[in-house]
Chains A and B, each alone.
Chain A
């Protein structure tokens, strides 16, 4: 199998770590070679956070570069727009419609671009925009929008459903298990 590349992007604190762990575990259970790469430290403090997931028979680089991603999963609209150049021309973009103002917008030095979802659809043929925050709240916590989006991705990725269930059980603490399973289901059928 040729190496495939998936980017998970969002704002520090949105839970990209859990999302990439879920995906990594599913891929590992499939018998793939897998690399997951993230950057810790300074960037985590409310900055843009990017995680690369690559899998195939043999994966070398842990990093995804412009024009290489088969899919981008974004937890925030502006971050989806920022990462568009990483997507292959025929790649899939899954994004939450949630908007979080970055500091330059908060201070008034810049404006949050309007109608981003529509503009992304003009540039990319395969955009799935979901109100993941609303679905997460429906599942019981605004913090579960990461798992909602993984559900949205899973519905389109073609990996066996039981692997996702198992990955959630492996990665999520017992007391949050039901909440996250529900969030995943809501994403799956979104």
Chain B
């Protein structure tokens, strides 16, 4: 049956049809929907793990146990899971294991633009890369077959455009061959030096066999054109841009297997043309490979660069000298950056931090928006968990001066992901640090996924809930308190007291995300335009529901959820 499917949904369909049984992932844009969609198939056990390392180890355990398994993550998630990945490459699999890593060319929703192919190369793990939804499904199914054939976990590399574009997919039935037999095999699965030495030899032999496979695999194909002016080698989303821009003006070698790369296939293709262009997003991995195997009539990064997404118009301009015409207004069009929602529980907390002039070590989530105007409250944002451990380092470097004026802010899901080890370090190595856990009872930014603190699992069924207060006390933090960020006075007082204290403390700023369906909203507030003096105090909150009209504040009743912090801000009682 033909369906219009998101690349991520087609990926999940591939898991289903391939008989995948166990799925464990951590959400991350643009990979999240693979696991959400997989969870809709009753035949698949699917879960959110606390982080990508746990997810990958779970998937590997399931594979060794004999079940086809999967774990999915965004590009930076693979850094967290790199430890199991590099050794899973040595152990190989029992039943097939597929890993999704979704790169974010253009950084639509990420803190860096790393090219995950480097991890595949460094860990010597084979990697496939689809270009549309149909290929997502087909490549996943093939990846399971190849995983078992070559005894390797297979990475399928996604990108924002492939993951979040819908195209037509022909669905088939599921084929489940059941659990494979599990046999104890320490030489293969116990990676202590003596055994690992043997497996490294296997890994090198496997790579040689995979290169041989890549030479003739249907994953890598030549699309010949009689009227070609030059040849193009491309992969992933860039293939679509190449076809769009060049049509039959170029012959194309499309590489669906991006690690390891074929040798003879590329040499033969390149020999047919005077000039070869490699059109690949981010790093010049295919281009460098071409040069390494003696193909010298190649150009790529000198034309397209290393930054952001490539597009069909860039290709048409650079390779054909063609430019499209368009018109625009002479007017300056103000930007529309993402903002914290009306009623966001993070707003009150960040307002207090800004008011107190606190140095804020930030983290990854919706609350990163606390760095944007008008709150401008965050000093650093690096990676998942870095707020807590980074604050510890900051305080060790600057001592009491910063200990009494700096905090870390981290969401509930991010704290479970990798903040907790940083808190252990604060307790163990005694820095007088103040950590604020923004507990909005959900993983917000990626679109409301459950996590170990929410009391529900991926399927929405009741689950054990981590008690954050007890957890923090158990690692050795004595000062643990809970505040409601809808009360500015309470929140400000708590921050002042904990900063003043002479030992480490945790403030849990607790209030569920205003977008959660079960959250009951208060009636919207409005501004008494006669009382309002236009002092703009309420505008300091950066609430999208409040704006100034003719010198007076106005509240958009369709957006306001009645959180009331603007009411608390208004000194003359004009909001009610």
Query: A interface vs B, CB < 8 Å?
Result: 11-12, 24-25, 28, 33-48, 59-63, 65-68, 78-79, 81-82, 84-89, 101-113, 116, 119-120, 123-124, 142
Contacts and interface: CB of A to CB of B under 8 A. Distances in A.
B558 A44 contact: no
Contact of B333 (A12, A45, A78, A107): A78
Q: In this complex, which of B244, B372, B447 has the most chain A Cβ atoms within 10 angstroms of its Cβ?
A: B244
27 contacts: A24-B4, A28-B4, A36-B166, A40-B32, A42-B29, A45-B445, A46-B341, A47-B337, A63-B161, A65-B313, A66-B326, A78-B333, A82-B333, A84-B328, A85-B327, A87-B326, A87-B327, A88-B326, A89-B327, A102-B334, A103-B544, A105-B547, A106-B547, A110-B335, A113-B329, A116-B329, A120-B329
A37 B164 CA distance: 6
A102 B29 contact: no
A44 B164 CA distance: 13
Contact of B240 (A60, A78, A104, A113): A60
Given A45-B340, A103-B336, A103-B544, A119 B329 contact: yes
B547 A104 contact: no
Interface string B236-248: 0100110110000
Contact of A46 (B166, B240, B338): B338
**Interface SS of chain B:** loop
Interface string B149-167: 0000000000011001111
B166 A34 contact: yes
Given A28-B2, A42-B29, A84-B329, A106 B544 contact: yes
Given A34-B4, A109-B373, A120-B329, A47 B339 contact: yes
Identify the interface centre among A41, A60, A68, A81: most chain B CB within 10 Å of its CB. A41
Interface of B: 2-4, 29-30, 32-33, 108-109, 132, 160-161, 164-168, 237, 240-241, 243-244, 311-313, 324-329, 331-341, 366, 369, 372-374, 445-447, 536, 539, 542, 544, 546-548, 558
B313 A43 contact: no
A33 B167 CA distance: 8
A108 B168 CA distance: 45
Contacts of A43: 108-109, 338
Contact of B327 (A33, A41, A84): A84
Closest 10 A/B residue pairs (Cβ): A41-B109, A67-B324, A41-B29, A67-B326, A47-B338, A102-B336, A110-B334, A62-B165, A61-B244, A45-B338
Contacts of B328: 84-85, 123
A24 B161 contact: no
B167 A107 contact: no
B4 A40 contact: no
Given A47-B338, A104-B335, A35 B167 contact: yes
Given A35-B166, A40-B30, A67 B336 contact: no
Contacts of A60: 240-241, 243-244, 312
A112 B334 CA distance: 7
Contacts of B243: 60-61
Contact of B313 (A25, A66, A111): A66
Given A11-B336, A62-B161, 16 more contacts: A12-B338, A33-B167, A41-B109, A61-B243, A61-B244, A62-B165, A63-B161, A68-B313, A78-B334, A84-B327, A102-B335, A103-B372, A106-B542, A109-B373, A119-B331, A142-B558
Contacts of B29: 40-42
A78 B372 CA distance: 21
Contact of B329 (A112, A123, A142): A123
A27 B372 CA distance: 40
B547 A45 contact: no
Contacts of A105: 334, 547
Nearest to B28: A41
A66 B243 CA distance: 18
B353 to A, nearest CB: 18
A62 B339 contact: no
A35 B33 CA distance: 18
Contacts of A104: 334-335, 337, 373
Contacts of B4: 24-25, 28, 34, 36
B537 to A, nearest CB: 13
A129 B547 CA distance: 24
A24 B133 CA distance: 14
Nearest to A105: B334
Given A41-B446, A67-B326, A28 B168 contact: yes
Contacts of B447: 40-41, 44
A42 B536 CA distance: 27
Contacts of B30: 40-41
Nearest to B536: A108
A126 B237 CA distance: 33
A64 B167 CA distance: 15
A24 B169 CA distance: 13
A113 B331 contact: yes
Contacts of A36: 4, 165-167
A103 B339 contact: yes
